[in-house]
Amino acid sequence: GEKERGTIATLLVTPMKRSHLAIGKIISLSAIAILSGLSSFLGMMLSMPKMMGDVEGMSADIYKMTDYIMVLLVVLSTVLVIITLVSIISAFARNVKEATGWVTPVMIISMLLGVTSMIPSLCMTEPAWFLIPLYNSVQSLNGIFSMNLDVVNIAVTVVANVCYAGIGVFVLAKMFDNEKVMFSK
């Protein structure tokens, strides 16, 4: 939207590093997305007793506080990856319509990755598989909720997601330094 309105040019000529501008954009977008992620987390945790109350012999008490903390870490780290990815795609786009068109396939892929938790042959348990963004989050949450969690895989997921977000911020900062990317018509 800032490219369409021309306000990005004003921001880019201000006396600040473009990397600081990129980080500021990621932080502001992440703040809202993290609030959304916290809302999703609370919704999951508060609905757990009701969902499990209908299954005989099952109770939400089977989950410990560490399980809830791991779910929260996975959700928040995943939010950072998605925000960074969408920001990079949006920086390439010339307008909002184009950005929406480019983000749509990414969202379709993320939904398809969500289905992998329902197909046992696609549920890998080796830590190397947990380096794949978005897939790692789906499999980590699946492991936590099915009580088949591996702390190493959860740790690999969270660390990998934070690293990918950091790399994404670096890439976005470099994109902000490139006039051809920022002012493409």
pLDDT tens-digit readout, 172-182:
888 877 766 66
Q: Are 71 and 47 in contact (CB under 8 A)?
A: no
The pLDDT > 70 percentage for the chain reads 81
* Confidence band, pLDDT 50/70/90 cuts, at residue 2: low
Query: Which amino acid appears at position 177 of this protein?
Result: D
> What is the model's pTM?
0.78
> What is the pLDDT, as a whole number, of residue 40?
80
pLDDT tens per residue, range 118-150: 887 777 788 888 899 988 999 998 888 888 878
Q: What is the mean pLDDT of the chain?
A: 81
* Confidence band, pLDDT 50/70/90 cuts, at residue 117: confident
* Confidence band, pLDDT 50/70/90 cuts, at residue 62: confident
Q: Of residues 14 and 53, which shows the higher confidence score?
A: 14
